[in-house]
């Protein structure tokens, strides 16, 4: 049954992961697990992230929501579960010529490039950046020639759900400028840090994917959804749902469009807000 606070009824809770739901150890705290398990017994709990599905499923298992939908790659991949089997509801990919362009630009720079498609993750080598991301997400990438991967994907008529670029801030800034100049009509280039760029199709967002999921799988309106977030890729979602909540460590742009601000992710802000609303 829906959860009710005052005169409002909430029928689905969704949350970003990194910087929002996870604590300083990049883990779910016991407090967060406890309250979200109580919430999920009443309404769906949907994880929504720039992560790949494989980097989200262990968190779903901890929360006991492994059969609830998940939204990966900032909305590029929407997965639901029918008869306990994963079903891809929506898949929007980056054209392969964009991947080729990024790979070529990054040659000779400090930039590490990762290519993602569904649960595939390819890196050119197991360098500092690959190991750091592997430690953060609990997923091990496959080492491969990225140009070969892109060519193989072309033959299979598929593209990247995400391109992740990490490196020195100056090189990342030059890449961001290049993408803005040449591919701004085709891809988003999110900068969660000065040393990171996450590239995704311009056709998607967390809000568009959430809206698609509601239309496909639930009789729920965006105004009946509560969402938590912290970064630039959360702005549209936080502004578009009925109850958009920013954690205290969120970007100012997220706070500006939120309905409420809770404690930071390192202080279990999501859990605190849910406890205050639902007891």
CATH number of 8-91+204-278, picked from 1.10.287.90, 3.40.50.1000, 3.30.460.20, 3.65.10.10: 3.40.50.1000
* pLDDT number for residue 9: 84
- Look at residue 279 and tell me whether its pLDDT is greater than 80: no
Average pLDDT over the chain, rounded to an integer: 94
Mean pLDDT score, 80-100 = 90
* pLDDT number for residue 2: 62
State pLDDT tens for residues 209-261: 999 999 999 999 999 999 999 999 999 999 999 999 999 999 999 999 999 99
* pLDDT number for residue 278: 79
CA distance 276 to 279: 6
Contact 119, 54 (CB under 8 A): yes
Rounded to 10 degrees, the C-alpha dihedral 191/197/202/206 comes to -60
For CATH 3.40.50.1000, the residue range(s) in the chain are 8-91+204-278
State pLDDT tens for residues 106-126: 999 999 999 999 999 999 999
- Give the CA count within 13 Å in the CB-facing half-sphere of 23: 12
CATH tag, 96-201: 3.30.1240.10
Among residues 59, 93, 98, 97, the alpha carbon closest in space to that of 76 is found at: 93
For CATH 3.30.1240.10, the residue range(s) in the chain are 96-201
* pLDDT number for residue 4: 60
Exposure string for 3-25, b = 16+ CB within 10 A, e = fewer: beeeeeebbbbbbbbbbbbbbee
């Amino acid at each position: 049954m829906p959860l009710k606070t005052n005169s409002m009824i909430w029928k689905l809770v969704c949350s970003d992961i990194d910087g929002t739901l996870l604590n300083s150890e990049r883990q779910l705290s016991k407090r967060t697990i406890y309250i979200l398990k109580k919430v999920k017994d009443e309404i769906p709990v949907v994880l929504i992230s720039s992560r790949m599905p494989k980097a989200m499923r262990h968190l779903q298992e901890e929360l006991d929501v492994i059969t609830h939908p998940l939204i990966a790659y900032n909305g590029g991949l929407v997965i639901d579960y029918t008869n306990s089997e994963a079903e891809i509801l929506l898949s929007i990919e980056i054209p392969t010529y964009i991947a080729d362009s990024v790979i070529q630009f990054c040659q000779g720079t400090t930039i590490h490039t990762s290519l993602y498609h569904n649960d595939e993750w390819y890196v050119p080598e197991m360098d500092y950046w690959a190991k750091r991301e592997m430690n953060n997400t609990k997923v091990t990438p496959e080492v491969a020639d990225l140009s070969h991967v892109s060519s193989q994907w072309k033959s299979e008529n598929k593209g990247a759900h995400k391109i992740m670029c990490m490196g020195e801030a100056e090189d990342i800034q030059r890449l961001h400028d290049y993408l803005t100049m040449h591919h701004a009509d085709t891809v988003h280039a999110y900068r969660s840090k000065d040393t990171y760029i996450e590239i995704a199709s311009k056709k998607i967002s967390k809000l568009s994917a959430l809206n698609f999921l509601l239309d496909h799988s639930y009789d729920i309106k965006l105004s009946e959804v509560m969402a938590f977030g912290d970064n630039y890729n959360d702005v549209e979602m936080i502004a578009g749902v009925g109850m958009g909540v920013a954690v205290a460590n969120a970007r100012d742009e997220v706070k500006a469009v939120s309905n409420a601000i809770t404690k930071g992710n390192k202080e279990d802000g999501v859990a605190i807000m849910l406890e205050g609303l639902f007891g």
